[in-house]
Each structure stands twice: as C-alpha cells, then as structure tokens.
Amino acid sequence: MRLGFGFVEVGTLTPRPQEGNPLPRLFRLVDKRAVINRLGFNNDGHADAAERLAARAGKMGIVGVNIGANKDSPDRIADYVEGVNVFESFADYLAVNISSPNTPGLRSLQSGEDLGKLLKAVVAARNGYAAITATNRKPIFVKVAPDLTEDQIEEIADAARDRRADGLIVANTTLARDGVEGHRHAGEAGGLSGRPLMRRSTWVLARFRRALGPDFPLIGVGGVEDARTAIMKIEAGADLVQLYTGLVYGGPHLPARILKGMLRVLDIADVDSITELRDRRVDDLLAAPPPA
C-alpha cells in the first residue's frame, strides 16, 4: 500500500493449504520483460490467510481477496463458496479466479453454463452473508483469461450480467507465446505475463467493454509497466488497473513513477480527470484483428 497502489489483491487462496507445482516453476524472460509461471496456487490455505487478514482489520487501504479451488477438490464450486464465506468480512472485494492455466480444468469454469452455476452459488453466498451480518455486500469480480474468442467473450459477458457479478478482471496470464517465440524459456509450461501480454489482454478488454456497456466495472491487467501502458488500459475500457510482472522489472518505485507519468499526460492533454480517457480507444481496438 505504501508504494502508492490504490488497492491490493491477495491470493489466489484455496480452502486447504497446497504446495503447488514442483520447482522450477517460475521463469524470467528478462529481455522480453516477461515471466512464465506455473506456481499452481501454492498457498497456506484459507484459515492461515484469514488470520493474517484479521490482524490488519481496520487498517487503511482497499484489499481484495482472490479465491480459487484446490487442485484435488471434488467440488470446485464449493471451494469458491467457502472462499466467499471465509473472506467476506476481511475483503473489500472478492476476485473469483477461474482463469489460472496452472490448475488443470479450472479454465473450463469460464464456459457460459458452468460460469452461470458458479456465479449463482457465490453471489447467493455473498448475499446471504451480507443479510445475516447486516453489512454491505462486497463486490464480486470474476477474473478471466486473455485466451478467449469473440464468442467466448460474449458468453462470459452474458453470464456475468445475468448472474449479477459486480465486475470483471481482464486478464490472467496467457497460454500463447506470441512475442517470445524462440526464447529459451518459451517452451516452459505455464502462463506468460508482462510486456508480451499487453496487446492480447487489451484487445480482450475492449471487447468486454463493448459487450458489457459503459456502466459495468472492469479492471484492466496484463503488461502494464509504465504510465503509457496504464493509460492504454483505461482507453481500452478499464476503470481500474492492476499489474504484477511490471513490478518484478520496474521495482518498488514503479507505482509512483506511473502516477507521476499519468499526471503529466493529463496535463499535456489538458484533461481534468482520468475518467475522460476511458474508452477512448475501444473502437480502434474493436477494429483491430485478433492477436495472432
């Protein structure tokens, strides 16, 4: 928080602790400003994380909790529901991660029918919790993959709208290797993030903005590394921006650098508010061909 981020998201957390995949499972493609990871949700489980989150209760800052399913779970939807119930009171929002490429089969939850079932269950759990505790409903964001066709984007948008998800996070890491072909790590299994993900994830973001209209909250993520790329996300339809790999290469001063750079862009463009930039390039991106 003190680095200058407007909000922070922790996770992915699964009900039971799990070790994740064997080492090595994380590869830096330094000259590409990219990472390939196949961590596989290594985490200490809900109870342990809940204890740590409880210890910072009442402290400043917006903290989202990203929830998932154990690799060997017999009922993945039940794992997400448990995540809602355990973290609802600690989280400012919940991120339902159905797009990690490192838990076999997880991404199939993105199909319209499965996503409908999942959202019905997690939204009901959230609403029930809020009613019982007489607290505000915490927003539920669904985190999607960047490897989606136009038809899949429509299907997910329909399910998110129909089942009243509060927003989408676009996007997770990609299985594609565009832009890193021939690199010595390009053949590693896992999700690719960082600079080579920018184009694809932004293309998908613009399509979700078109599919969901101007009022549906979207978080843009994938390849943000400076003020220019952060602004590109907003121009492609993002209300909020996240980054991960950018911090690996940019270091702890990155958020401050991005914020200063964005202010400069606003000054030069004589724009009073960043919201004026939102959607500016959606039409251009809609006209662009799909990423290879």
Ligand X SMILES: Cc1cc2nc3c(=O)[nH]c(=O)nc-3n(C[C@H](O)[C@H](O)[C@H](O)COP(=O)(O)O)c2cc1C
Least distance (Å) from ligand X to the CB of residue 201? 7
100 is catalytic: yes
User: In terms of CB distance, is 90 or 141 closer to ligand X?
Assistant: 141
Q: HEC profile for 91-122?
A: CCEEEEECCCCCCCCHHHHHCHHHHHHHHHHH
34-37 and 26-29 as β-strands: parallel, antiparallel, unpaired?
antiparallel
Give the span between the Cα atoms of 122 and 109, in whole angstroms: 13
Using DSSP's 3-state secondary structure scheme, residue 11 falls into strand
For the chain, the C-alpha Rg in angstroms (whole number) is 18
Strand order in the sheet with 26-29: 26-29, 34-37, 191-194
Which residue in the list 100, 108, 111, 201 is annotated as catalytic? 100
User: In terms of CB distance, is 66 or 70 closer to ligand X?
Assistant: 66
Q: What residues make contact with ligand X under the rule CB under 6 A?
A: 11-12, 26, 35, 37, 39, 41, 66, 97, 100, 143, 172-173, 193-194, 197, 221-224, 243-246
Give the span between the Cα atoms of 235 and 213, in whole angstroms: 14
* CA 58 remoteness from chain centre: 25
User: In terms of CB distance, is 18 or 66 closer to ligand X?
Assistant: 66
Using DSSP's 3-state secondary structure scheme, residue 247 falls into helix
Whether the bond between 14 and the residue before it is cis, its omega within 30 degrees of 0, is no
User: In terms of CB distance, is 52 or 271 closer to ligand X?
Assistant: 52
Least distance (Å) from ligand X to the CB of residue 11? 6
Least distance (Å) from ligand X to the CB of residue 158? 22
User: In terms of CB distance, is 222 or 281 closer to ligand X?
Assistant: 222
Q: Check if the beta carbon of residue 245 is closer than 8 Å to that of residue 194.
A: yes
Active-site positions?
Answer: 100
